[in-house]
Structure 1
Amino acid sequence: MRRITSGVLALALAGTLAACASPATPKATASAAEDYLVFYADGQRAEALSAIERAGGSAVRTDTKLGYVLARGAGTAFTDRLDGDRAVVGVSSDRQIGFATAATGASAAGGPTGGASGGGAAAFPNASGLEEGAKGREPLAGRQWDMRMIGADKANGKAPGSKKVLVGIIDTGVDGNHPDIAPNFNRTLSRNFVTDRPNDKYGETLDGPCEVKSCKDPVDRDDDGHGTHVASTIGSPVNGLGIAGVAPNVQLVNIRAGQDSGFFFLKPSLDALTYAADIGVDVVNMSYYVDPWLFNCANNKADSKRERSEQRAIITGMQRALDYARKKGVTLISALGNGSTDLGKPKTDRDSPGYPRGDEKVRKIDNNCLNVPAESKGVISIAALGPSGRKSIYSDYGIEQADLSAPGGDSLDGKGSSPTRSILAAAPEAVLRRAQKLDKSGKPKTSEVVRDCSKGTCSYYQYLDGTSMAAPHATGVAAILISRFGKPGKGGLTLSPATVEKLLYASATKKACPSPRAYVYKIYDEELTHVCEGGKSKNGFYGRGVVDALTAATMKR
């Protein structure tokens, strides 16, 4: 699945600006032995093992917690034999199946004027003056319009979170050595469930050359930058350097499931959720969607029998992992998605299967198809807002799908375009240097990157857009609630996910649909209309409201 490179380009996921693009031609590949995740029906493990053997495959190991067998078989011939067996729910190749949803705030900065002809009062002043915003305890606080929008700047002094609360970052990794993350980074509990893959199965560059001999990066490394940004928004400390996160005292645990390239395999995603549950993580942030199918359809006539089986495996496998984690006390928070799509009324999917690149096709879909994990059961999904308070132009929405909303950035939300309307958070210096965004002396070469050298230590930050950036604001608020209302448990505090969800909704600021409900975004020479359904207490743009850190820090149960 291709990474979105700007908030503007996110519209291409919905086909808005890519209608004239020709679909890529799938590449042929010879059948060979591969690893598969074979999910079996309840109580059918023995039968599934027999089916794998009859199909000419072999079992590598069985995961009884989530109900699947890691098996090896000869490609299509193997899966075709399994697909009709009653003991088998679905079969997925153990391959890359997702990507992190973020956009570089500056990538649209030189673009066209953005704006809207729809109504709705701004919830925050125009973003053009944000760099001269209110001062805070941290040097770059003036640039954090997002924290002021949700009251996190004031909440920090009242309820900064507890060191007894563990926040899991299921992402591309976390730079645990970043000066504005290191004080809260739990290296001991952090894990990397990913092995870098230099090339995809067609020999094309995927992650690029391995940075270490084993191709398995250390737990304090992030060669992409996405996970570091997410972690920073949640819990950068108040230390007189750079910025502060929503919950600046909590512990950050890197539970890596994403490749350097930003893609995600199914098995690492399952392993990450299982691990988070087993070590007592309180809340996890999942700022990615599970792929190669942007929408997973269990019985879509546009797909082959094999493709339907794979999508059923993704839906089933992730739901089992999410259920396992939730039963163990993990609150599950997800980015809603950057497709600029009403997830309750999807019509066309042009981006699946997104891996390997070039295998995409155009297919008709409907509301029976799911974006995973955003539409999985038990998950709190977050829509993104721009600095004016409007739903971000790229953000997915839907009356059934949007649970809450939070600042995620929108560089076109205002006159002209500016990266300061995106979300500022920590960035690994090595990633910025590799992208040639710093000069030899370390000075930023682009307005999307900010350097702070307070206290004689230099650290770097970057502006990014995305529902990936919205979700960690909600995760931080959840961490505040757990810190305040959690009860002492084994090694920390515990608060049931159902209670956290209830408190998140109760503390959110209700926000009604714009008037008129058909909100018109302007981009280039085109107009894009999104229709908001629902009332003030629950609607497709804002869910049950905008997350509110200050209310979470001061409310009574």
Structure 2
Amino acid sequence: MRDACLFHSLHEEIQVPNDSDRRAIIRFNSRDDFNRWLRLRDTLIPALPRLAYVQPLPMIHAFACPLSCAGQLASFPSVLSVEEDCKTAVVHGLPEFRRSSTIKLSGDHPYIPWGVSHIKAPLTWNRTTGDRVRVAVIDTGIDYNHPDLQHAIENGINLIHRHALPVDDNGHGTHIAGTIAASARQTGIAGVAPQASIHPVKAFDENGTAYVSDIIYGIYWCLRNRIDVVNMSFGMKHHSRALEDAVRTAYYSGMIIVASSGNDGRTSRIDYPARFPHTLSVGATNKKGQIASFSNKSKYIDIYAPGEKIVSTWLRGEYQELSGTSMATSHVSGVVALLLSANRKLTPRKIKSILRRNASRIASKRLVSSETGELNAYRSVKSAL
């Protein structure tokens, strides 16, 4: 009876989407509590139609829903916590999106961007190309018609419009996907792992913003679809216990999550989710092999990779040059795909160790930790083999 009362109270507090930006994540003490609530919600929807807006998050035994206020929800015995469902961004005014006009490629052969060459990825392609490795890009979607990506695109999900394809209406996700797995036949660009599969998970809207709950559901989708690598080229300043628990669950299932450290040029602090210990956290370097001026620097960063003036795929079949730790992260995801294609027995912990141990020396005096180096695909793949 008390659970039914809670749902009646919840129904009164739920705001119809677009009426309010306020959302909450309601977590339960156990899987049994969550399943009991889920069954009760389904029973009550005909009488309480706003409960249809309550989104289950099975991975962390939680619901996400639009709320005017949390009310007395946290006082119910089966409720563990009520957390604000905050927004995060892939853009947020970062240097990577201060872009000029699209790039025009010339020549009658594939173009290898400087970052792909710098980490020595082409030297590994006679041994591994990322074949049969499934990489999810939780981002703004993907350009399904881009000629350099059509070979790589596999099933995905659109968490903004659930019944639509995860089509990119921003550009960021397409750029990330290109660095990971672009493959040009004659003209176009080559990515780090040109035979890897890309699974677009559109959690971010056209403005490059997403709710934490949609990112969590995206991770859950990846888990159910046996994704090997998850690229998270976004960041937020605040800690989310719900997101951390989702990342931890994915890690212990064997999934490798690669996350960008942020573009604030700060020392000793990095963004979430890169700050979670169960991610591969990435900083950015420039063409000189130095830490990029915009990149955060910290002992929490596992590896640095090329992130300045990176050319990759863009909307409408075009190409764009962007800078940011987002771009560095996609290089690392590509190398992880190369490693897994070469050796499927590698665990997330082992992959992190291989990348760190075989990294190149950073040509910078501003390095926070002498143990952190720059991504080296050739040495890492050689070690994995």
Q: Give the TM-score band, short-chain normalised.
A: 0.7 to 0.9
Task: Give the letter aligned to residue 328 of structure 2.
Answer: A
| CA distance in structure 1 between the aligned counterparts of 2:329 and 2:13, rounded to whole angstroms | 39
What is the CA–CA distance in structure 2 between the aligned matches of 1:273 and 1:391, rounded to whole Å?
A: 30
2:383 corresponds to 1:548: no
1:340 matched to 2:277? The reply is no
| Residue 392 (str. 1) matches residue 292 (str. 2) | yes
Structure 1: distance between partners of 2:55 and 2:315: 37
For the pair 1:380 / 2:280, whether they are aligned, the reply is yes
Q: CA deviation at 1:553?
A: 3.2
Report the secondary structure of 1:36's partner residue: strand
My pick for the range that moved more, 505-514 or 83-92, is 83-92
The partner residue of 1:98 within 58, 65, 88 is 88
Matched with 1:466 is: 324
Matches within 5 A, 1:11-22: none
Determine the C-alpha separation between the residues in 2 that align with 1:423 and 1:61. Answer: 37
Deviation at 1:180, TM superposition (A): 0.5
Matches within 5 A, 1:29-428: 33-34=14-15, 36-42=24-30, 45=33, 60=54, 62-70=56-64, 73=67, 75-76=68-69, 79-83=70-74, 88-94=79-85, 97-101=87-91, 103-104=95-96, 107=99, 138-141=109-112, 144-162=113-131, 164-186=132-154, 189-195=155-161, 217-219=164-166, 221-290=167-236, 294-296=237-239, 315-344=240-269, 371-399=271-299, 401-409=300-308, 422-428=309-315
One-letter code aligned to 1:248: P
Q: Structure 2 length normalisation: TM-score?
A: 0.81
Q: Write out per-residue CA displacement over residues 321-368 of structure 1, whole angstroms, 9 at most, x where no aligned residue.
A: 112222222101001111222244xxxxxxxxxxxxxxxxxxxxxxxx
Amino acid at match of 1:502: S
Distance (Å, rounded) in 2 between the aligned partners of 1:165 and 1:67: 29
- Unpaired runs of 5+ residues, structure 2, are 1-11, 16-22, 42-47
CA distance in 1, matches of 2:32, 2:361: 46
1:240 maps to amino acid:
Q
Bigger fraction of residues in strand: 1
How many residues align? The count is: 354
Cα 1:406/1:137, change in 2 over 3 Å? farther
| CA separation of 1:511 and 1:61: change in aligned 2, threshold 3 A | closer
2:368 is aligned with 1:510: no
Cα root mean square deviation, aligned: 3.3
| Contact in 2 for aligned 1:167/1:283 (Cα 8 Å) | yes
Identity across aligned pairs (percent)? Answer: 25
Q: Structure 1 residue 81: deviation in Å?
A: 2.3
Q: Judging changes above 3 Å, is the alpha-carbon distance between structure 1 residues 85 and 512 closer, same or farther for their aligned structure 2 residues?
A: farther
Answer 1 or 2: which has greater helix percent: 2
| CA shift for structure 1 position 282 | 0.6
The 1-side partners of 2:216 and 2:98 are apart by: 34
- Counterpart of 1:365 in structure 2 is none
Q: Which runs of 5+ in 1 are unaligned?
A: 1-30, 110-130, 196-213, 297-314, 345-369, 410-421, 430-458, 488-494, 518-531, 539-543
**How far did residue 237 of structure 1 move?**
1.2
Stretch of structure 1 that moved more, 63-72 or 390-399: 63-72
1:501 and 2:352 are equivalent in the alignment: yes
Between the aligned partners of 2:277 and 2:75, the Cα distance in structure 1 is 27
1:348 maps to none
AA matched with 2:303: L
Rate the CA distance shift 1:403–1:248 in 2: closer, same or farther, 3 A.
same
- 3-state SS of 1:218 partner: coil
Aligned residue for 2:151, secondary structure, equals helix
Amino acid at match of 2:327: M
Looking at CA atoms only, which structure, 1 or 2, has the larger radius of gyration? 1
The amino acid that maps onto 1:36 is A
Residues of 1 paired with 2:189 and 2:35: CA distance?
55
Between the two structures, name the one with larger relative contact order (CA 8 Å, sep ≥ 6).
Answer: 1
Shift of 1:256: 1.5
Following superposition, the deviation at residue 223 of structure 1 comes to 0.7
Q: Report the alpha carbon displacement of residue 423 of structure 1 after superposing the two structures with TM.
A: 0.2
TM-score w.r.t. structure 1 length?
A: 0.58
